Chain A
Amino acid sequence: MPKSSSPVPDIPLLRTAWDYADERLGLGEVMALAAKKTVPQHKHSFWYYWGGISLFFFLVQCVTGVLLLVYYRPGPEAYESVRAITYDIEFGWLVRSAHSWSANLMVFSIFVHMFSVFFMKAYRKPREFGWWSGLGLLGLAMIFGFSGYLLPMDELAFFATKVGLEIPATMPVVGEFIGNMVRGGPDVNANTIQRFFALHVVILPALFIPLLMFHLWLVQRHGNAVPPGEEKKPASERRSIPFFPNFMAKDLAMWLLALNVLALLASLYPWQLGPEADPLAPAPVGIHPEWYFMSQFQVLKVLGEWFPGLTGEILGLAIFTGGGLLWALIPLFDTGSRFEQRARIATWIGFFALAAIAITTIWGYAALE
């Protein structure tokens, strides 16, 4: 085996180290695989970057999250510790701001990634599990965001969590029990912080990371899907570039761009800390959840006006569950290009979902004024 095929610079010590590892781990084979892997090039290629961007923001979450752990204390001291991070610890405001901004950018990137995958019909055979694991990752990311939002225990955190947990609590029969178990009592309190903390820093990472590995492994296995328009072209007209180093270099350039955007947002718009939560104080006017829950928030609000009492909430819950289920099952419906009719319906479902989410979100913000 030619020992010299190595990507490390031609420095004797590095070469020896590479050869040592290569002989034992077969790194050369991995390199050969990476060299063979290609990424399709066409006018929609831009959308291939969004999975990588989401991954970048997750890595930022891991690093900044562990940094926050150095000073954060869950339980009754939570607010005080976040106050200290924000105002006493040097650059603590920046670490906290980066964690909060990156959380939002991560959820945003996952949404963009999901819709681009949807419109490229990349959920079709053999990529169904990629679609399902991706939905799982989105769900976990949203729970990450929801649980993290409570941790500073300021006024907004308190009411957002209170309202958010009322939604599962409307479920018939089991709702109240579930709400109490999640909160650790009938009301949001120090127990809730402690639970959300365990969820946020142990349980969710423990679920997210293996699922992410599975997702990435599938991407590696099946490669990038091309949109149907490209698929119809003869092979000679289709273009692609090597993954390594060409696509990877572009990927890294995107990461750098993402890092710059994050740095600007986090430093120019530092994440705020409100007054400490007071369970006896009335909810402040204009209270609302993070933007990625705004759509559901608004739908529930409107349904509540149209159908007073529990009816509205149960109806809302039914719509979310049904819609989510339909969205998850789309690979079983739109199975391939042989069924043109179904493919078109699926595309329309995508447009409808995108429009419904966008409109209810904007509506939600407009209704706050």
Chain B
Amino acid sequence: MHDEAISSEQYETFDDIESTDDPLSRRGFVKLGMMLVGTAYAGAIGYPVYRYLATPVTRAAGASAVTEVALPDAQSLEAGSAMMFRFGTRPSMLIHHTDGSWACFDAVCTHLGCTVQFEPQKNRIYCACHGGVYDMKTGDAVAGPPPRGLKVYVVEVSDAEVVVSRA
């Protein structure tokens, strides 16, 4: 039904192309070849463009592959306070508690990704975005929307520095 219509005079140039149902005909072969060549060109252009645009993403992935961060002089952090630093690319939080113990967490809220803050006067870690509350010693989710606790890092304190590493 369509074939008839397509060979209407106006578009007679198309009916040769359209009437190839047999994939092994000469036309079909040429068509297939053109598709292959087209795909090759699209790949040859698309791949460098992708790598070009993706460079910072790849770099960041490399940076977040770190397993350990040394924080020189952090051992003198005042008790009852916290400091922020980058673990790879992620904001992280080192806390020196008033009882002398240390804790270190990934500071990205497990709800929707805001950066959390230490509230020493309320003895908690708080996320201002939707009111998420975490335990300041274990990082467990205590109240509000966060589905999980914060990721915990291992802390080692020496005379010259604090070293934090993946658990």
Contacts and interface: CB of A to CB of B under 8 A. Distances in A.
Contacts of A244: 13
A35 B10 contact: yes
Contacts of B100: none
A67 B54 CA distance: 12
Interface string A3-29: 011110110000100000000000000
Interface stretch (B1-9, B77-85, B90-98): B1-9
Residue of A2, A10, A15, A95 contacting most chain B CB atoms (<10 Å): A10
Please classify the interface of chain B as helix (H, G, I), strand (E, B), loop, or mixed, using the class held by over half of its residues: helix
Contacts of A67: 49, 52-53
B52 A242 contact: no
Residue of B8, B18, B52 contacting most chain A CB atoms (<10 Å): B52
Contact of A4 (B6, B41, B49, B58): B6
Nearest to B3: A10
Given A10-B18, A31-B11, A35-B11, A4 B52 contact: no
A89 interface: yes
Interface residues of A, number: 26
Interface in A74-132: 88-92, 94-95
A32 interface: yes
A90 B58 CA distance: 10
B25 interface: no
B10 A5 contact: yes
A28 B5 CA distance: 14
Contacts of A263: 44
Interface of A: 2, 4-7, 9-10, 15, 31-32, 35, 67, 70, 88-92, 94-95, 242, 244-246, 259, 263
Given A15-B2, A92-B55, A246-B13, 16 more contacts: A5-B5, A5-B10, A9-B18, A10-B2, A10-B3, A35-B10, A35-B11, A67-B49, A67-B52, A67-B53, A90-B48, A90-B52, A91-B51, A91-B52, A244-B13, A259-B41
Interface of B: 2-3, 5-6, 8, 10-11, 13-14, 18, 41, 44, 48-49, 51-55, 58
